[in-house]
Structures are given as structure tokens and as C-alpha cells.
Amino acid sequence: MHNIYIRKVEVRGGHAQNTVIYTFHNVSQFWTFSPAAFLAQPVYSRDYPPCRYCA
Amino acid sequence: MARTLTRRALLTRGALLAGAAACGLGTLRSLVYAQGRAPIRIGFIADITGTVAQSGRDMLDGFQLYLAEKGSAMAGRPVDLVVEDAAGVPANALTKARKLVEQDRVHILTAPLLASEGYAIRDYIAERNMPTLFAVCSADDLTQRKRAPVIIRTGWSSSQPSHPFGEWVAKTLRYKRVATIGSDYAFGYEVVGGFQRTFEQSGGQVVQKIWAPLGTPDYSPYVTQIRRDVDAVFSIPVGADAIRFTKAYRQYGLKGRIPLIGGGVLMDESLLRGMDPADAEGTITALMWSAALPTPQAQRFVAAYRAKYQKDPSYYAETNYSGAQWIHAAVEHIDGKVEDREGCCGPSAPCSSPTRREVRCGWTSTRTSCTTSTSAKSRSGAAMRRTR
């Protein structure tokens, strides 16, 4: 479980840094999904999830 | 058990001891106490050549910084760090793992950098019952469908940051249509897949998916394929590919026209150093680390790392520094008896990341990894809290 930081690259004095603009606290690898339901899905791959909106 | 000490390990240990000499009398005291006791051998598979060399170097630097701070000793025993370079090649990673386990007889192994390398060594370390720390290698299934008792993940799963990020991009940035371009192997699939899943669940649409091989020398053919009628491009190249991709993204006029977002390693500090700041500026990514984190723990680590290496610590460095601390905590918990495989992962000894703070669990009684041992209930309702 981790905090997940949303970072935006800012350049200050020529130095690029990842400035934290938002924090999600205590994020599990299953996010808000039920672990059982998550694990019942296939692992993410080249074809999963399928690209339903690709022309 | 016969002791094998490679020349590289000898040099590494020598360097650590030299570094430790500057750390004060307390450290020296532990060093003196550790003399004469059999060393704990840690096998460290690094990718310090090849496409991901800069990031791989940071992994080693982070781990060695922690060892130097502790006088290269744990539980009263000296530590031998045996380093092997797999160069980012899965077949090499398996070969090096076999060498470290069977020839060097290491007590603990650390996994290499790439997800594909992690999958390559998974069956071997499970068969050999070799406790292995996964501080960087983030292949999802290693703590999901292919988890094993000896896999200790103190790092992350590839799709873990992508899930909240996909939702955030849809709801906060209000992007509707996104094109993705990812590295064409397991890590790329998992980072893009996690993003796509929650982005689309939140009302967004991924309208194009492009894959580029790891080690792509020229991103021109890929950047020119990107659709111009999207709200943003989500990207996850790895290693030096990130530098080449962001360069091409600006050269072909997309920078400033289509916002660039992506997985955290796109803008990792190990790569930011090599980028033109103009290529990187404004890019938004998600990860569990930033060298600009304002927490006291993070700032103390950043200062120590900068002092020793004269560069910003990347996530690769931070998570290996933390990983070394986890190994240390585990070794102390079993009074240094690392030869006792059955007792190595007894009752939970909770510790937290020195830098990120909110890694919660320790080595559990069931010897499952950190991330799989957390309950769904404990995270519900606590996921989103604004910090600034």
C-alpha cells in the first residue's frame, strides 16, 4: 500500500523537478476493486483491456 | 557452507566500509562488533548497462547508501553485497540469479529492474525457496496471480499508480479522448491497462494504443502515428527511451499542442537529468515518489543522497534504500539467523518506509508479500484526500 502522488514537472532555475499536485493515500494494488473480482480478470496485456474506441 | 567472495563483492564491500568510516563512532562500533562473524550475503541483480542503465545505477546507489549508513552490518553480522549486471535482458537475469544462488550461496536476493526480468526469475526463486526482495520490478502478477511465499514486494505493482491516475485524469483534468504509447512488454501493458480501465470507467475513451519496443533508437515513426484529435497522450517508455520519446514529442510539434501525461517512470529523476527541461516541463505523471516530496523523512534521504552522489534521488534509488531497510528489519527480527529459511518470515514485524512513510505491513506470518497482505477494507474510504 502506498501513497500515490500526482506530479507535474516544473522547471525552476533550469532544474526540472516533480512537484506533487495531488495525493491519493493508501492505494492498494487492487485500487477500489474487490481483490477476488480483480484477480478473476486476466492480467493486463497487449490486448487486455481491448481498445473498444480505437477506430 | 563454503564462503565465496567475488572480486566485485570485495570491492563493493570495501567501498561500503570506506563510506561507513565517515558515519561516526556509533557506526564504527557496530562494524567492530560485526568482525569475526560470518557475513550475510545479499545478491543484488542490477541493470547497470543497457537501455535502463541510468535507473539501474540508481538502484545500486540507493541500496549502498543505506548499507553505508549502517556500517554494512545487520544484526551484528557484516554484509557482503554481491552485485551482478543483467543489462536489462530477462535471460541474463535468470542466469545471474542462478549464479548468485548456486555459486555465491547468497542468503537473500534482490530482483532486477524490468517486469520481464521479474517474470523470468519467478519460477526459479520459488523452486529454490530463495527469499527475494522486489523493490523495483513491478510485474503485476508476481503479487497477484503468480504470487509465491518467497516474493517480498516492498515496491509496487505496475498498474497500482495507474488506477487512481486514470480516474483523476477523467474527473479532474476532464480529458475525454486519450491516445496511449507504451513500451512493448509486460510493464507497458500493465501501466497502460490500469490507466485505461479506470479512465474508461470514469467516462473517458482510449482511442489509440501504440506499442514501441524497449530500446527504440528513434521515436519518429511512433510519434508521427499519434492522432492529433485527442485531449492528451498517455505515455510509458522505459529507461533511455523516455528521453528519446520526449525529445521526439517536442521536435514533431506535439509539445504545447497535446498535453503529455504518463506513468511515473516517464519523468523519473534518473531520466530527468538527461532530458532537456523544455521536453519535460508540464508533463503530469503518477508514482509513489518524488524527490520534491516535502516530508521530513523524504528530505533527509534526499539530502543524504545528494551529498553522496551529487544528483537527485530517483524512485529507483529511494525504493532500494527503503528495500535495504526492510531487509535490515527482517534480519534483526530473526536475530541475524538468515540461514533459517523457515523462521525468516515469522510474526509480522511492521515497519514503514523511511521516505514514503505509508507502507504499512511487514513480513507476515503467511509469508505473502506486502501488497497482497493488505485488506480491501483497510483502504476503503481513505483513498482520496487532498494535500495541496
| Least confident residue range of B78-87, B257-266, B305-314, B355-364 | B355-364
User: How does residue B379 score in pLDDT terms, banded at 50, 70 and 90?
Assistant: very low
Cβ burial B89-98 (10 Å sphere, 16+ → b, else e)? bbebbbbbbe
Query: Does the distance separating the beta carbons of A22 and B198 come in below 8 Å?
Result: no
B385 in any annotated domain: no
Query: Does the distance separating the beta carbons of A46 and B184 come in below 8 Å?
Result: yes
Q: Is residue B78 domain-shared with residue B193, that is, in the same domain?
A: no
Cβ contact A2:B156 at 8 Å? yes
**Contact residues, B window 216-275, toward A, CB-based 8 Å cutoff:** 264, 267, 269, 272, 275
Query: Does the distance separating the beta carbons of B168 and A24 come in below 8 Å?
Result: yes
DSSP 3-state assignment of B27? helix
* Separation of alpha carbons B132 and B305, rounded Å: 25
Q: Is residue B258 domain-shared with residue B201, that is, in the same domain?
A: yes
Q: How close A19 gets to chain B, by Cα (Å)?
A: 6
Mutate to test the interface with A, among B192, B196, B208 (most CBs of A within 10 A): B196
Query: Nearest Cβ partner of B267 from A9, A46, A54?
Result: A9
Query: Does the distance separating the beta carbons of A21 and B272 come in below 8 Å?
Result: no
Domain of residue B257: give its range. 162-286
B388 in any annotated domain: no
Last residue of one domain, picked from the residues B255, B286, B317: B286
How large is the average pLDDT for residues B163-174?
Answer: 98
Q: How close B380 gets to chain A, by Cα (Å)?
A: 7
Q: Is residue B147 domain-shared with residue B11, that is, in the same domain?
A: yes
CATH of the domain at B202: 3.40.50.2300
Q: Cis before residue B217, ω within 30 degrees of 0?
A: no
Q: Is residue B339 domain-shared with residue B273, that is, in the same domain?
A: no
> What tens digit of pLDDT does each residue of B39-91 get?
999 999 999 999 899 999 999 999 999 999 999 999 999 999 999 999 999 99
Last residue of one domain, picked from the residues B254, B286, B318: B286
Q: Is residue B122 domain-shared with residue B235, that is, in the same domain?
A: no
Query: Nearest Cβ partner of A5 from B192, B282, B286?
Result: B286
Please give the ipTM for the structure prediction: 0.98
* Separation of alpha carbons B351 and A24, rounded Å: 21
